[in-house]
Amino acid sequence: MKIFITGSAGFIGFHLANNLLKAGMIVHGYDAMNNYYDISLKQNRHSILLKNSNFTTTKATLEDNESLSKTVDQFRPDVIVHLAAQAGVLYSLENPRAYIDSNIIGTFNVMEAAKRYNVKHLLMASTSSVYGANNSMPFSEKDKADTQLTIYAATKKANESMAHSYAYLWKLPITMFRFFTVYGPYGRPDMALFKFVDAILKDKPIDIYNQGEMYRDFTYVDDLVYAISLLIDKAPNISLVDKDNSSNIAPYRVINIGNSNKVKLLDFIDEIEKILNKKAIRNYMPMQKGDVPATWADCSLLQRLTGYAPNTSINHGVKKFIDWYKSYYNVQTK
């Protein structure tokens, strides 16, 4: 099978491409390689993938519709997995236009390419942030999600609406993933685990928002990409007997991918300290603008569709990240 992945130099895109290549798939990666964070990390991810002869890549933005269309036409994919996006909650407060350009215009271009080439399945990343101010947990795909708190979350909810319209108009099977706090080796430097480990090892304080009264459904990256790989062959359809569809008029599905286990932020930090054998310098802060106190996924639909439920423990996942961090940055500890 030939699979086109946008954001292949990104954290999740890299791990998914690696997983699919090991399974014998032919993968083409498409990535802007922008400097939102350390570009050398992205380059190193791609260098690993390029060791496999079944991986090829294009460097260009999603907004460059001519380049995107040409690349899709030349590769002739069976499936498109669209993971590229301008990520980050805080950055969306500083530079909201970047989210409109990448997440709205870029996603529109991807959907147009998928429609024109009539792929078997278009799978696209959304986020648990679309649940916004919802406080009924665990979050279910059937819950209303109309109270987004950041422009990042709003662009992702817009992607879901755009996708439903394309699924309906063009009978294009589309699955939207709502990811829950993904972490693991080769993670993004702007994510909590990376920032905490980096700061603790450098004897710098860590910022703990809402005085630590935060809960997250931490999802280990290997669990996440394995779930995505299982869903590639599970394209939604408009059959009335398909009770796992999110629409009764379009081949469209929204699906949570999380660990189905909310963990208190302070317990997460305790685990990091335990594995590092070093205490953090804790700087307790008020809630940051646009953030939410808790996330927690109901993943029963994922399990019903695939028979799989992410289950990596925090202890195992955090240790895997720390081992990678020390090796990658050549950190020597006692």
Closest CA to 103 of 81, 87, 79, 89: 87
Residue 262 · residue 296 · CB < 8 Å: yes
The secondary structure of 22-83 as a DSSP string is: HTT-EEEEEE---SSS-HHHHHHHHHHHTTSTTEEEEE--TT-HHHHHHHHHHH--SEEEE-
**CB-based contacts of 169, cutoff 8 Å, min separation 6:** none
152 belongs to the catalytic site? yes
Cis-peptide, bond into residue 310, ω within 30° of zero: no
What are the structure tokens assigned to 34, written together? 């922008």
C-beta of residue 91 within 8 angstroms of C-beta of residue 15: no
Of 152, 166, 252, 325, the active-site residue reads 152
Which residues are annotated as catalytic?
152
